[in-house]
């Protein structure tokens, strides 16, 4: 290997480490604040009666957990503090929870799309399926399915290597994992979101039900479509990377190509977390109703702080006069 190739490999590995050092912190800060505010907004009385809000709340909760599970441990690994590279069980649990939470966050947006499609239907019987009671049950069923079925292969396919790297055991496991992620997260769900969103738009144009309905519902539909657009946009890089990885997994690669693949994988993963950490900011920019609800929350928080702040006690004028007289006497 030439000296220029070695220097290129070292540089690529350096860029990969630096991306892993700084980008996750930004996403964690933005995502923590944003997802907490999302939950507070959608649990307010003006919005929580809408079944779509149930899916938004559930999605924000899963976004919160997926950010910490997916980004904290790689960051800690830079300082040799990652506990998941010390025990096989933690290695497997980390990937199992990572895949499950990011998948559930995607499923809840897909379910919100289905709910808006159902609620915009011209048939009363179909619209009756759009209710808070049904949404809560579906959220519970989705969690049971996701934590029980798709990613149990992680407990057989992932292991700690001699270099203390938590990874899949062989190429077959890698291929199986990529297929499951495509079907459950980065491939099929975004395609279904786009199709269902287009069908919802068709329903709205045909019946004009939302146009004459509550403006709150119109705002929720707008928020949903924007989130679908963001999710699909940022799912494309990770989908392309997984597709490339699957197509070339049995191909012998040079150290330089391996370093390039590692950097591309790191970039695609971090791009995929943008949708998990920026939903609050996208909603705030695009929805006036959402900004109003956020303003009311912040105002209530400010007032509560003012009430709990110790105010200076003002003495009556008679007490002030007595103190003045005593002062003059001395």
Angle at 252 between CA 247 and CA 258, to 5 degrees: 85
The C-alpha atoms of residue 326 and residue 330 are separated, in whole angstroms, by 7
What was the pLDDT predicted at 2? Answer: 72
The C-alpha atoms of residue 48 and residue 27 are separated, in whole angstroms, by 27
Q: Say if CB 98 and CB 66 are below 8 A apart.
A: yes
**Confidence check: pLDDT of 185 > 80:** yes
Q: Say if CB 34 and CB 280 are below 8 A apart.
A: yes
Tokens (6 digits) for 14 = 């350096």
DSSP string, 101-170: HHHHHHHHHHHHHHHHHHHT-S-HHHHTT-SHHHHHHHHHHHHHHHHHTTTTTHHHHEEE-TTS-EEESS
| Prediction pTM value | 0.84
Q: What is the mean pLDDT of residues 140-148?
A: 95
Q: What is the mean pLDDT of residues 140-168?
A: 88
Regarding predicted confidence, which is higher, 218 or 249? Answer: 249
**Confidence check: pLDDT of 256 > 70:** yes
The C-alpha atoms of residue 150 and residue 114 are separated, in whole angstroms, by 21
Cβ atoms within 10 A of the Cβ of 244, count? Answer: 14
What CATH topology corresponds to 3-329?
Rhopdopsin 7-helix transmembrane proteins (1.20.1070)
What was the pLDDT predicted at 320? Answer: 45
Query: Residue 60 — very low, low, confident or very high, per pLDDT cuts 50/70/90?
Result: very high
What was the pLDDT predicted at 80? Answer: 81
């Amino acid at each position: 290997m030439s000296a220029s190739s070695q220097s290129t490999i070292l540089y690529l590995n350096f860029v990969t480490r630096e991306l892993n050092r700084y980008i996750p912190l930004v996403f964690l800060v933005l995502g923590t604040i944003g997802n907490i505010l999302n939950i507070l907004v959608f649990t307010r009385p003006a919005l929580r009666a809408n079944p779509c809000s149930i899916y938004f709340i559930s999605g924000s909760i899963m976004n919160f957990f997926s950010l910490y599970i997916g980004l904290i441990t790689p960051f800690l690994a830079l300082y040799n503090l990652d506990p998941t590279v010390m025990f096989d069980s933690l290695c497997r649990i980390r990937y199992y929870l990572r895949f499950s939470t990011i998948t559930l966050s995607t499923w809840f947006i897909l379910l919100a799309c289905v709910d808006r499609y159902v609620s915009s239907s011209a048939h009363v019987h179909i619209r009756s399926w759009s209710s808070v009671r049904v949404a809560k049950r579906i959220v519970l069923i989705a969690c049971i399915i996701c934590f029980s079925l798709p990613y149990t292969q992680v407990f057989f396919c992932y292991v700690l290597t001699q270099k203390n790297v938590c990874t899949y055991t062989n190429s077959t496991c890698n291929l199986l994992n990529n297929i499951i992620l495509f079907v459950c997260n980065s491939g099929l769900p975004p395609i279904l979101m786009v199709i269902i969103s287009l069908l919802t738009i068709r329903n709205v144009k045909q019946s004009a039900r939302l146009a004459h309905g509550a403006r709150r519902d119109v705002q929720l539909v707008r928020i949903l479509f924007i989130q679908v657009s963001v999710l699909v946009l940022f799912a494309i890089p990770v989908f392309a990377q997984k597709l490339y990885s699957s197509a070339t997994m049995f191909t012998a690669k040079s150290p330089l190509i391996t370093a390039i693949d590692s950097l591309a994988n790191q970039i695609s993963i971090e791009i995929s977390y943008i949708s998990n950490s920026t939903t609050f900011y996208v909603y705030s920019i695009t929805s006036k109703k959402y900004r109003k609800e956020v303003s009311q929350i912040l105002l209530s928080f400010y007032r509560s702080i003012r009430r709990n702040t110790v105010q200076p006690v003002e003495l009556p004028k008679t007490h002030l006069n007595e103190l003045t007289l005593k002062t003059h006497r001395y």
